Each structure stands twice: as C-alpha cells, then as structure tokens.
Amino acid sequence: MSNQPFGTRLRAAMNQRGPLCVGIDPHAHLLDSWGLPDTAEGLASFTYGVVDALAEHVAVFKPQSAFFERFGSAGIAVLEQATIRLREAGALVIIDAKRGDIGSTMAGYASAYLAEKGPLACDALTVSPYLGFGSLQPAIDEARAAGAGLFVLALTSNPEGPQFQSARTTAGQTVAGAVLDGLRELNAEADDLGSFGAVVGATIKSTDENLDIRGPLLAPGLGAQGGTVAGLTEIFGAAVRNVLPSSSREILGAGPDATSLRDAAARTNESFRTVLGY
Ligand SMILES: O=C(O)c1cc(=O)[nH]c(=O)n1[C@@H]1O[C@H](COP(=O)(O)O)[C@@H](O)[C@H]1O
C-alpha cells in the first residue's frame, strides 16, 4: 500500500477519475437480469464483469460483503480477487462490511481488512460505532499504520436510522453528533481530507448536524433508494466538496454489456462532477 494516507489518495483519485463510487452489490435479481445463475460462479462472472468494465475508469469501488458472504468461502474468494484486481488497476476499494465489536475483537477485523498484508486488505472499511466510538480504536490504529481509512455510520440512508442516531447520549448530544465529533478529532491534523469518514445517506433530506469533519462523507442511497444529485447540496451544504457519492443498483443494472456499464458510470460521474466541483 502507498505511504500516503487514505484521505490524500482518495482526493487524488477523485480529482483524476471523478467523484463517483460504484457499489458492487451482486443481488440475486441482478445476477438474473445479467443472465447469470444465483451461484458462486454467477457471482464471479458478475463481479469480474464489473471489474473488467470499470476498474480503470472509476475512482472508488465499494463491494458489499453481504452479497459475497452469501456464497460462503467461494464468495469471499471472489471478494478477495476483485479487491486485488481493482487496486491493481489504480482504483480504491472500500469494503462495506459494517464491522463493529468490543475493542479486542475489533482488532481481529482490523487485521483482516486493514493491515497491509491482511487477506482482504482494502483502502477503507465501513464500521459501526454502536459499541461506543472508543471500541473502534484498534481499527483506527491499524488504519493509521497501513495508510487506510474508515467510514463510520453516522446518519444512515434507511428510514429506521434516526431511532438510534437521533437519540441523545449521556452527554446530551445526538449519537450521530457524537460520531461526527469523534471523526473531527481524528482528522484534526489533516491538510485537506482526513482518512476517517462518516456515512451520511443521500436520502436524509437535511440535517442540523455539523458535517464539517475534515474527512470524506460517504453518501449511499443515490438512485435506487431515492437520493438525487441535486439533493446533495441541500444535505451537505458547505461540506459538499468532501462527499463521496455511491451508487450500486442504478449503475449495475446497465450491465452486462461493458460499454453500457461504462456509459452509465460516466454519465453519473459527470453529473456529480458539476455539483461537487470536480
Ligand atoms: O455503508 C453503506 O454503504 C450504506 C450505508 C447507508 O446508510 N445506506 C446504504 O444503503 N449503504 C449501502 O450502500 C449500498 C446501497 O446500494 P444501492 O441502493 O443499490 O445504491 C448498499 O450496499 C448498502 O448496504
């Protein structure tokens, strides 16, 4: 892995290839629409089809671990291979596994996904802070050592999110606010973009939380979940420049034809470029 911290590499990749993150979510219905069986072989054809079409054109990919885990070890092998191939093609990979556990167990996840020689070594991992922000410390330490990053769930795109995320902590702030404060602290030394990001859904309409964390703001929920490009400015305000917009089903549905996939990604990337200022 490069010596540059994740945030620096992310900004450079977005400047070079545009801000789009393509989510790789091989749902059963997508395998079907690509004419593939719902098996590990179908998963491999689908995933490598996306990799071959887009790896050299898109800055960031976010494979969704759930759809690989569905096929057990054969599925995880595809996730490993895809991650290696994408990174070899110069793209950054965020593995979306939303891991979170007590600190000592978190260290196990960190060595799998974040350590430079880990079997699933990627550029960043999505993590869940609901065992307390401090429980993420082993992942934070490993990410710093490896030049990797984390995306911590803050204001998620699903309608159930506010039940916990808008609740108040013992200190009186919202849970989401506490997560964003923790991230702001971790990124305090960053010049431009730090390596510790928040997940803020593109569907939340607006928020009173301070999204200026000097770190990337992963915004899933575009397209299939109803989030729009125009809505990003409303949600993120002055922090919009740090948004990493992510779209999965909307782009994957354009396959299996490689040119159609590339066209769909290029169109979406172009619409983000204008709004996000790239
Ligand atoms: O962490 C995520 O990426 C995530 C957070 C969130 O708040 N909402 C959300 O949809 N996601 C993930 O983003 C992807 C969205 O996929 P599409 O709705 O098909 O674009 C899925 O893999 C979700 O698990």
**Which tens digits make up the pLDDT trace of 23-72?**
999 999 999 999 999 999 999 999 999 999 999 999 999 999 999 999 99
Mean pLDDT of the chain: 97
Q: Is 127 helix (H, G, I), strand (E, B) or coil?
A: strand
Cα-trace Rg, the chain: 17
> Is the CB of residue 276 less than 8 Å from the CB of residue 241?
yes
Cβ neighbours around 60 below 10 Å, total: 26
Question: What is the pLDDT averaged over residues 231-239?
Answer: 95
- Closest residue (by CA) to atom 17 of ligand 1? 248
Closest ligand 1 atom to Cα of 64? 22
User: Is 159 exposed, middle or buried (CB count within 10 Å of its CB: 0-12, 13-18, 19+)?
Assistant: exposed
In whole angstroms, what is the distance from residue 98 CA to residue 136 CA?
Answer: 12
pLDDT surpasses 90 at 182? yes
Distance CA 100, CA 89 (A): 30
Q: Which CATH fold topology does 6-273 show?
A: TIM Barrel (3.20.20)
Residue 147 has pLDDT above 70, yes or no: yes
- Cα end-to-end span (Å), the chain: 25
Return the residue matching tokens 């490069």.
2
245 lines ligand 1 (CB under 6 A): no
Q: Are the CB atoms for 272 and 24 separated by under 8 Å?
A: no
Q: Can you give the pLDDT at residue 1?
A: 45
- Going by their DSSP bridges, the two strands 196-200 and 21-24 should be labelled as unpaired
pLDDT tens, 239-265? 999 999 999 999 999 999 999 999 999
CA 63 to CA 51: how far, in whole Å?
A: 11
Buried b (16+ CB within 10 A) or exposed e, 237-251: eebbebbbbbbbebb
117 is a catalytic site residue = no
- Dist. CA 222–CA 228, nearest whole Å: 6
Ligand 1 centroid, distance to 250 Cα (angstroms): 12
**Residue 52 DSSP code:** H
pLDDT at 3 over 90: no
Rounded mean pLDDT of 130-142?
97
pLDDT tens column, 70-116: 999 999 999 999 999 999 999 999 999 999 999 999 999 999 999 99
Which one, of 149, 166, 245, lies nearest residue 200 by Cα?
Answer: 245
Which of 248, 249, 252 maximizes ligand 1 atoms within 8 Å of its Cβ, making it the mutation to test the pocket?
A: 248
Residue 175: predicted pLDDT: 98
What is the rounded distance in angstroms from the CA atom of residue 158 to the CA atom of residue 83?
26
Cβ atoms of 255 and 49 closer than 8 Å: yes
> Does the CB atom of residue 147 touch ligand 1 within 6 A?
no
What residues does 124 pair with on adjacent strands?
94, 149
The domain spans of the chain are 6-273
Q: Are strands 92-99 and 60-63 parallel, antiparallel or unpaired?
A: parallel
8 or 274, which is more confident?
Answer: 8
For 120-130, write each residue's pLDDT tens digit. Answer: 999 999 999 99
Question: Can you tell me which residue has the tokens 């808008």?
Answer: 166
pTM for the predicted model, two decimal places: 0.98
- Beta-bridge partners for 247: 22
Counting Cα atoms < 13 Å in the Cβ hemisphere of 12 gives 11
* The pLDDT value given to residue 2: 54
Whole-number percent of the chain with pLDDT over 90: 97
Instruction: Report how far ligand 1's centroid is from the alpha carbon of 194 (Å).
Output: 22
